[in-house]
């Protein structure tokens, strides 16, 4: 079922390039680059920059303007060879992170995407170890603000803040779809990878610290608009047909749950202002209007699917969003 790969000998070093996407540069980026340069092995760092600032210790790819995360990441990964670790500029790698990812990559017998453990920079717990899935394609961070311990289930999606791509998996998928711009491009790629029979492998020994919301904020109207719009696009493209047929009901149930939790000061809705909630609804409306476009993409993608409808439901159940994570 899964894309086949090969197991590397234990004494073989697998080259890993590192691509850091930045829009603001500054001290946050400097800390990220310094943490990468301290890793062993660290073959290359490429900073994809939408500013005109040089970065010490990195080869800088200047795009000249903010083209969005998806295009910037694609450009950076195209500029390097081999497997690649993609990082946001607001992350800092813990010592040994790259070595742990290389070990997991070396031990893998299948093509895979590898998810390090991402910790909140303020020390309050986990940011995530990948994402859990809702039946409507929405994702929620696995372990968000929970203790730094074992997590149930497996990741249904990776976090674009820090992720290692087997180069063969990346090339098979064709990278991020640039039409997603920012927010949701990782969900789309994750679901397409799941449909192709691939898995996201958690590597808790590889640890990255993250300034959550440092790049774009956490609950801004534009962010929530894009999240819901792009969630709809990814859902139409890859979810099982039964999930699509009942998508409005699943989304209504999810929003109702978030509303109930928010009323008691819990869950993801507790910090969202009214204006941002309206923007989320606007995103759902736009995503609904875009259905014909993404239905066509679904038909094109089918040739590469290795998980059918039942197998896709099974994979989604294994990687479902957990109640403990949602209510925190």
Question: In the chain, where are the structural domains located?
Answer: 16-210, 221-327
Q: What is the pLDDT of residue 296?
A: 98
CA dihedral 187, 193, 198, 199 (to 10 degrees): -10
Reported as a single tens digit per residue, the pLDDT across 108-166 is: 988 899 999 999 998 889 999 999 999 999 999 999 989 999 999 999 999 999 999 99
CA dihedral 116, 122, 124, 127 (to 10 degrees): -30
| Token pair belonging to 175 | 């990278």
Reported as a single tens digit per residue, the pLDDT across 41-56 is: 667 788 887 677 778 8
Could you write out the DSSP letters of every residue in 223-285? HHHHHHHHHHHHHHHHS-HHHHHTHHHHHHHHHHHHHHHHHTT-STTTT--HHHHHHHHHHHH
Give just the sign of the alpha carbon dihedral 87, 88, 89, 93.
negative
Name 38's Cβ contacts closer than 8 Å, sequence gap at least 6.
Answer: 93, 95
Chain centroid to CA 51: 24
Which helix H or strand E contains 84, and what residues bound it?
A: strand 83-88
Distance CA 147, CA 119 (A): 10
Reported as a single tens digit per residue, the pLDDT across 198-218 is: 999 999 999 999 987 655 555
Single pTM value for the model: 0.91
Integer angstrom CA distances of residue 273 from 218, 228, 268, 270: 11, 16, 11, 8
Query: CATH classification of 16-210, choosing from 3.40.50.1110, 3.40.50.2300, 3.90.550.60, 2.60.40.10?
Result: 3.90.550.60
């Amino acid at each position: 079922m899964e894309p086949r790969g090969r197991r590397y000998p234990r004494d073989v070093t697998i080259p890993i390039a590192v691509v850091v996407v930045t829009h603001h540069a500054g001290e946050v980026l400097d800390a990220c680059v310094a943490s990468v340069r301290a890793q062993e092995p660290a073959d290359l760092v490429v900073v994809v920059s939408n500013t005109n600032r040089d970065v010490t210790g990195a080869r800088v790819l200047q795009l000249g303007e903010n083209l969005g995360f998806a295009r910037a990441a694609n450009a950076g990964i195209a500029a390097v060879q081999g497997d690649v670790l993609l990082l946001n500029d607001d992350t800092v790698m813990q010592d040994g992170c790259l070595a742990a990812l290389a070990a997991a990559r070396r031990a893998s017998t299948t093509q895979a995407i590898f998810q390090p453990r991402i910790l909140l920079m303020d020390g309050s717990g986990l940011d995530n170890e990948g994402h859990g899935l809702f039946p409507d394609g929405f994702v929620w961070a696995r372990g968000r603000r929970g203790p730094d311990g074992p997590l149930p289930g497996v990741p249904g999606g990776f976090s674009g803040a820090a992720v290692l791509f087997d180069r063969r998996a990346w090339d098979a998928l064709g990278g991020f779809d640039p039409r997603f711009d920012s927010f949701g491009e990782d969900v789309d790629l994750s679901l397409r990878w799941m449909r192709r029979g691939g898995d996201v492998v958690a590597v808790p020994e590889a640890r990255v610290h993250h300034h959550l919301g440092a790049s774009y904020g956490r609950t801004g109207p534009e962010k929530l608009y894009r999240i819901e719009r792009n969630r709809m696009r990814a859902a139409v493209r890859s979810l099982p047909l039964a999930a699509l047929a009942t998508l409005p009901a699943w989304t209504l149930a999810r929003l109702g749950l978030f509303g109930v939790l928010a009323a008691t000061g819990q869950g993801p809705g507790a910090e969202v202002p009214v204006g941002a909630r309206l923007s989320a609804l606007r995103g759902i409306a736009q995503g609904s209007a875009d259905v014909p476009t993404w239905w066509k993409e679904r038909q094109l993608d089918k040739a590469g699917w290795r998980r059918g409808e039942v197998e896709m439901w099974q994979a989604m159940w294994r990687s479902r969003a957990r109640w403990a994570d949602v209510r925190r």
